[in-house]
Amino acid sequence: MRLFVIYFMIVFSLQAATLQDLVRHYKSGDFAYVCRMGYKMFDRLKRSEAMVSMYAYACLKDDKIDRLAVPILILGKTAAGRKNRAYFSLILAQKNILMASLCDGVPLSGLQVPDTDHIISKIFNLYYQKKLKKVDNKYTYTSPDNQVRYTVEVQKKGRCSLVIKEYDHGTTNEHRYR
């Protein structure tokens, strides 16, 4: 019995340290680590909406949008959880609608969705407003002041995917979605 208690204390302290490690990595901006490790230890994370939200935001920042599906199902016990669930649901839906339209030619019409600051939301709205110009297999947009430019490439090698390149004030960010 005594060994069981000692074992339980060691396991519990290791779990707590691991959760603290996730928080520390999140605060330092290492979203890829939080998304990867949070996925592996999700059974422990799901006890706290704050931890589930942190994991989901990290995956969102790391362009792992498909990993939002499970947190969307779990969040909802608190006002903050419901707000995060709505935000994650919107971005996941925009990604899926955009993929269906760009990859399969499904027309977009009659949609009215909120806007967010996420790159998928920006591209979705530019595409919906017909501001993306198609050249070959790429879509492009340049802001009126020439400060921001986006290219969206549809790749159909096996599974359809989107490659979004964001050029903003001399920096380039690349996002890949399947």
- Tell me the per-residue pLDDT of 63-121, one tens digit each, with 9 for 90 and over: 999 999 999 999 999 999 999 999 999 999 999 999 999 998 888 887 888 889 999 99
**Helix, strand, coil % in the chain, rounded to nearest 5:** 55, 15, 25
Give the three-state DSSP class for 77: coil
Domain ranges of the chain: 2-130
3: pLDDT strictly greater than 60: no
**In residues, how long is the chain?**
178
Mean pLDDT in residue range 162-173:
91
Tell me the pLDDT band of 2, cut-offs 50, 70 and 90: low
In this prediction the pTM is 0.84
Judge whether residue 7 has pLDDT over 50: no
